[in-house]
Amino acid sequence: MQNNIFPLVHEVAQPVREVVVRYDDYQNNACGLAYCVGMDGVTRIEACMKNGEYAHIPYLRIWSGETCVAEFSQHHVAGVFFAKDEAEISHD
């Protein structure tokens, strides 16, 4: 159920084209990954909301076909790049 206080998706109208994620490898080394629609099997990137211990937390999910291959909370997202429209990221 969607409400006005915690929207379930980002408010930007365009689809997500690429996301850059950063994380710590637990040895004090910052690492990064980039996921881009159309590369390495990535078919879509979507924003979603998950209920957390303190509140609803924004996440990004990385999809390959009908399989979710990765999921990152907003705390690990370094950048989000948007397509102009669906046609820009469509690879049919």
- Going by C-alpha positions, the residue among 27, 52, 68 that lies closest to residue 60 is 68
Query: pTM of this prediction?
Result: 0.74
Model pLDDT, residue 42: 96
By residue range, what is the domain housing residue 49?
A: 16-81
- The amino acid present at 52, given as its one-letter code, is G
In a domain, 45, yes or no: yes
Strands ordered across the beta sheet of 67-73: 44-51, 56-64, 67-73
Nearest alpha carbon to residue 21 among 35, 5, 7: 35
The span from the CA of 16 to the CA of 21, in Å, is 14
C-alpha of 33 from chain center: 12
Residue 62: inside a domain, yes or no?
yes
pLDDT digits (tens, 9 = 90+) for 9-59: 556 778 889 999 987 777 777 788 899 999 999 999 998 888 877 778 888
How many domains does the structure of the chain reveal?
1
